[in-house]
């Protein structure tokens, strides 16, 4: 007679109440953990994978030339992110480079170009008159500083257009504006040092406030410290160069 005996097996990982009691008593080994298959991860298609800088760096010159004609690459996320980042960089650079020279203004421009503009940046106003040697000397220094620190706005205006009957003996005069108010006044060439150089003017302007901004430093304090360190270095280099030039001139004179 056939043996119809069979052993019933439940779903793997399940347990009976009897087995649980026996495990608590130590009569059965601990239940094995239920089998869990690893999560499915589809193989990534290289063509559809997002491109990054390393991906482009690994391409040869010929491969990069071929990519220029690849229409599918136009929709790639990397290029879209790159365009956005580059546009942001260009906008920031444009903000910094919107100055860089000494701009002449008239009395009708003063409120817009100085008072209102100083709400965002430091503005240096030079009161001057043509034909006065001291004014020409200071304006030359300001032009150099304007190119070094494009984050600061430099303007010049004829003195009597700005302040009627302003005495010529006070020229040149520098007015420092910020947040719509005068933060500093420097009257006459002697106010910027015994020798009027871009470095001496910068030291006077930044003595107590972060007036000069190169557009690269972060907060005002770090900007001022960077400017002061750079100005001192340039000042020392200029002094050393002047002494070397003088020594060379003396040597040439003695040899004659």
Prediction pTM value: 0.56
Q: Give pLDDT, residue 5.
A: 58
Alpha helices in 119-219 (DSSP H): 133-148, 159-162, 198-205
pLDDT < 50 positions in the chain: none
Contact between 112 and 123 (Cβ < 8 Å): no
Q: Give pLDDT, residue 126.
A: 97
Q: Give pLDDT, residue 177.
A: 96
The number of beta carbons lying within 10 Å of the beta carbon of residue 244 is: 10
Contact between 96 and 215 (Cβ < 8 Å): yes
Task: Quote the CA–CA distance of 176 and 118 in Å, as a whole number.
Answer: 9
Q: Give pLDDT, residue 199.
A: 85
- Measure the CA angle with vertex 89, ends 118 and 213; round to 5°: 35
Contact between 176 and 211 (Cβ < 8 Å): yes
Q: Give pLDDT, residue 29.
A: 82
Strands, sheet with 123-128, edge to edge from the N-terminal-most edge strand: 102-104, 153-158, 123-128, 173-178, 181-187
């Amino acid at each position: 007679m056939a043996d119809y005996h069979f052993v019933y097996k439940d779903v793997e990982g399940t347990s009976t109440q009897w087995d649980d009691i026996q495990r608590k008593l130590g009569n059965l080994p601990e239940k094995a953990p239920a089998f869990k298959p690893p999560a499915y991860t589809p193989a990534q298609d290289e063509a559809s994978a997002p491109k990054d800088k390393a991906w482009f760096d690994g391409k040869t010159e010929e491969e990069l030339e071929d990519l220029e004609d690849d229409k599918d690459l136009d929709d790639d996320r990397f290029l879209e992110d790159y365009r956005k980042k580059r546009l942001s960089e260009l906008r920031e650079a444009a903000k910094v480079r919107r100055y860089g020279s000494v701009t002449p203004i008239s009395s009708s421009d003063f409120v817009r170009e100085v008072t209102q503009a100083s709400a965002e940046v430091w503005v240096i106003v030079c009161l001057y008159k043509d034909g006065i040697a001291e004014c020409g000397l200071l304006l030359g220094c300001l032009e150099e500083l304007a190119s070094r620190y494009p984050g600061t706005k430099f303007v010049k205006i004829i003195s009597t257009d700005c302040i009627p009957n302003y005495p010529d003996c006070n020229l040149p005069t520098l007015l420092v504006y910020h947040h719509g108010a005068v933060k500093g006044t420097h009257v006459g060439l002697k106010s910027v040092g015994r020798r009027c150089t871009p470095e001496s003017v910068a030291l006077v302007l930044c003595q107590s406030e972060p007036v000069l901004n190169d557009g690269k430093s972060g907060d005002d304090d770090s900007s001022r410290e960077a400017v002061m360190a750079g100005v001192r270095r340039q000042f020392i280099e200029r002094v050393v160069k002047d002494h070397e030039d003088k020594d060379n001139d003396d040597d040439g004179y003695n040899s004659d």
